[in-house]
Structure 1
Amino acid sequence: MSWIKEGELNFLEKITANILKSGPMPKHVAFIMDGNRRFARKKNMDRQEGHMQGFNKLADTLRWCKHLNIPEVTVYAFSIENFKRAKDEVDGLMELAKQKFLRLLEEKENLEKHGVCIRVLGDLNMLPLDLQQTIAEAVVTTKTHDKCFLNVCFAYTSRYEITNAVREMAWGVEKGLIKSSDVSETLLSECLYSNNSPNPDLLIRTSGEVRLSDFLLWQTSHSCLVFQSVLWPEYSFWNLCEAIVQYQINHASIQKARELHREHQALQQEEADSACVAEHLQHHGNGKPADAQRRQEALLQYTSCREERIQDFLDALKHKRDSFFIDLCSEAVVA
């Protein structure tokens, strides 16, 4: 089945969509697509068929999001913890993923038509090489598209992502690109796999489970969380609408919490910069206190230098990550 399904909403769905769009709408929705195996047991079908039905439901959901003007979707496709499952199931999931990404590459014109950018978030080194190369080609092929974004979390857990972000900052310090004093909550956010995306406004988990299972823990600290009992392959347009209504009910409090967090981050950064400048002035001023004008000039200079360092580091990090995908594509061509 195609990743991007064509087709309009029916009359009742269109009316509902228009009503919803008159209120605040999420711009980024994340899904924990849970319940494929339980759906397979319920329908007395093979587990692999359950996973296939789950992928088909993703295509439906992307179509609904398109009609609801939701430009970005992130899905939890495969957790690092899933490698602990039976080998035949893991191998089947790897093969299914390869088939679907190959199908995606066959849909280049459709993806370009809709402006769909595919990003894959996770440690691809854990995957079979042929799947890595197929994923890399899909990412590189669609990276310039900018109308809508699908982030597929594959070989992913949030704790691993945060740990990797810390490693990236340590690499930056080791290379002399940044100083240890540049490390901050804001910089860590920029080093996550998801650094190109705004944090999700709404996170939905299906199947009745009420836990996040190590998914986007950092990014969803101020998101609306909705847990629904429906199994993922049975997910419907109406289930999505119900979740959006929950987001709209809680929209004001979510925005207030985000604004307070931004203010707190700015204050933390200001205090950290001031402390660094004060230490520098004391060290180079023979212990004499600097006047207000000198402190302000030093603070502005320090802030400018820090921002320049961080931008150079982030550019280098982006180049490193882009090169990883480009090199995989090159290896595939040679092979």
Structure 2
Amino acid sequence: MSWIREGELNLIERFTANILKAGPMPKHVAFIMDGNRRFARRQNMECLKGHMQGFNKLAETLRWCKHLDIQEVTVYAFSIENFKRTKDEVDGLMDLAREKFLKLLDERENLEKHGVCIRVLGDLNMLPLDLQQLIAKAVLTTKSHDKCFLNVCFSYTSRYEITNAVREMAWGVEQGLIKASDVSETLLSECLYSSNSPNPDLLIRTSGEVRLSDFLLWQTSHSCIVFQSVLWPEYSFWNLCDAILRYQLSYKSIQKARDLHREHQALQQQEADREVVAELLQHHGNGKPVDAQRRQDALQHYATCREERVQDFLRALKHKRDSYFNGLWSETALA
């Protein structure tokens, strides 16, 4: 099964899609693809076959998203918690991942045609080395594609992602790239695995479970969250339309919440800058009063310097992450 299914929508589907697209459409949709194992049990098939059906459904769903002008999709493919499952199931999932990433490399022309960029988010060091290398090949092969994006969360949990982002900022302080006072909510967002993507507009979980299971907790704080009872392998175009309609009904309140949050972040940063500058002026001015103009100039200068430090740090962080994938690519080429 291809990563992207070819084919057009039928007449009724096209008609429905055009009606939906007359309203605000989500640009980034995230899926918790739950229900593969329950589907397998219902069909009296092996658990791994249920996961294979789940991948096939993802390929079909990506086709629907393409026709609905949804530019980015993020999926929860394998949680760090999944390593606690039986060895046979974990080994089977690793084999399935190998098979699908090999398939992806075989259909590079198709992915290039559609401009699909594949990103894999998570701690890949937990995976077998050969699978890490396959993933690195897939990521680097599609890196320049920019029409649509598929983010595969593999060996991932949100708490681990946030913890890792804190470690990255601590590394930046240790390296002298940033100061402890530069650490902020905005900077933490830039250190997440998902830093190259806008936050999801819509998060969908299938199977009837009404929890997020440690998926994109930071990124979906102002997203529309839809829980649907259908098992993932049975997901349909109409289920997706239903979720989009719910997003449209919530659109105004979502945008208002996001605008308020951006304003709050900006005010927080301004207040943090003022506190640092006030302390610096007091220290260097020996307690003497500082006029308003000098205070404003100092504040502007500090904000400029902070932004330069942060950008230098983010470039260094990107280089560190790119080096990981490039190193795996080089190991593969030498093998």
CA distance in 1, matches of 2:323, 2:5: 31
2:225 aligned counterpart, secondary structure: strand
CA distance in 2, matches of 1:317, 1:230: 40
CA distance in 1, matches of 2:318, 2:245: 37
- The two structures have a TM-score, normalised by structure 1, of 1.00
CA distance in 2, matches of 1:214, 1:102: 28
Which residue pairs with 2:16 in the alignment?
Answer: 16
Shift of 1:333: 1.2
Which residue pairs with 2:271 in the alignment?
Answer: 271
Which residue pairs with 1:46 in the alignment?
Answer: 46
CA distance in 2, matches of 1:197, 1:283: 41
Any idea what the Cα deviations from partners look like across 1:38-61, whole Å, max 9, x if unmatched? Answer: 000000001010000000000000
1:265 partner amino acid: Q
Which residue pairs with 1:299 in the alignment?
Answer: 299
- The two structures have a TM-score, normalised by structure 2, of 1.00
Which residue pairs with 1:69 in the alignment?
Answer: 69
Which residue pairs with 1:315 in the alignment?
Answer: 315
Which residue pairs with 1:98 in the alignment?
Answer: 98
CA distance in 2, matches of 1:286, 1:217: 46
1:208 is the counterpart of 2:204: no
Any idea what the Cα deviations from partners look like across 1:268-301, whole Å, max 9, x if unmatched? Answer: 0000001100000000001012100000100110
Any idea what the Cα deviations from partners look like across 1:247-274, whole Å, max 9, x if unmatched? Answer: 0000000000000000000000000001
Which residue pairs with 1:117 in the alignment?
Answer: 117
- Please list, as runs of the form range in 1=range in 2, the aligned pairs for 1:21-40 lying within 5 A after superposition: 21-40=21-40
CA distance in 2, matches of 1:236, 1:289: 68
1:230 partner amino acid: V
1:300 partner amino acid: Q
CA distance in 2, matches of 1:174, 1:212: 34
1:276 partner amino acid: V
CA distance in 1, matches of 2:199, 2:161: 15
Shift of 1:243: 0.1
CA distance in 1, matches of 2:156, 2:290: 49
Which residue pairs with 2:327 in the alignment?
Answer: 327
1:307 aligned counterpart, secondary structure: helix
CA distance in 1, matches of 2:72, 2:264: 27
Which residues of structure 2 form unaligned runs of 5+?
Answer: none
1:180 partner amino acid: A
CA distance in 1, matches of 2:225, 2:314: 30
1:226 aligned counterpart, secondary structure: strand
2:176 aligned counterpart, secondary structure: coil
CA distance in 2, matches of 1:274, 1:180: 15
1:135 is the counterpart of 2:143: no
CA distance in 2, matches of 1:305, 1:144: 31
1:188 aligned counterpart, secondary structure: helix
1:198 is the counterpart of 2:193: no
Any idea what the Cα deviations from partners look like across 1:193-243, whole Å, max 9, x if unmatched? Answer: 000000000000000000000000000000000000000000000000000
2:226 aligned counterpart, secondary structure: strand
- Please list, as runs of the form range in 1=range in 2, the aligned pairs for 1:170-249 lying within 5 A after superposition: 170-249=170-249
| Percentage identity across paired residues of the two chains | 82
CA distance in 2, matches of 1:162, 1:48: 30
CA distance in 1, matches of 2:67, 2:259: 29
2:120 aligned counterpart, secondary structure: strand
2:289 partner amino acid: P
1:260 partner amino acid: L
The two structures, once aligned, show a CA RMSD in angstroms of 0.3
Which residue pairs with 2:154 in the alignment?
Answer: 154
Shift of 1:107: 0.7
1:88 partner amino acid: D
CA distance in 1, matches of 2:289, 2:37: 67
Shift of 1:334: 1.1
2:168 partner amino acid: E
CA distance in 2, matches of 1:286, 1:53: 71
CA distance in 2, matches of 1:317, 1:310: 10
Any idea what the Cα deviations from partners look like across 1:163-214, whole Å, max 9, x if unmatched? Answer: 0000000000000000000000000000000000000000000000000000
Q: How many residues are paired up? A: 335
1:69 aligned counterpart, secondary structure: coil
